[in-house]
Amino acid sequence: MNKSELVALMAKEAGITQDQAGKAMGALVGAIQGSLASGNDVTLIGFGTFSVVERKARTGRNPRTGEAVQLPAKKSPQFKAGKVLREAVERKE
């Protein structure tokens, strides 16, 4: 499912226009991005938690040449699924 399909489904389920659903989706994504950029976690009970993890600097390898390459430390977003979401996915198998 892509973003436009998700917006259409949200509009149908909530009984609102696709424009309103698109604005709501944009606001949600923007709020999550802003919170993570500020160093805060976002927890949606039953769905999951968005957080930022610190990745240490490390030495990697260029797969083409085999040469050692120094990879810098960085911050990366992470999502951990909540219990309700995990159980819903397991029931669908």
The domains found in the chain, sorted by start residue, are 3-91 (4.10.520.10)
Q: How far is CA 7 from CA 19, 36, 46, 85, in A?
A: 8, 23, 21, 20
pTM of the model: 0.79
Give the model's pLDDT for residue 93. 58
pLDDT digits (tens, 9 = 90+) for 6-32: 999 999 999 999 999 999 999 999 999
Mean pLDDT of 23-52: 96
Give the model's pLDDT for residue 92. 72
**CA-closest candidate to residue 21, choices 33, 32, 30, 9:** 9
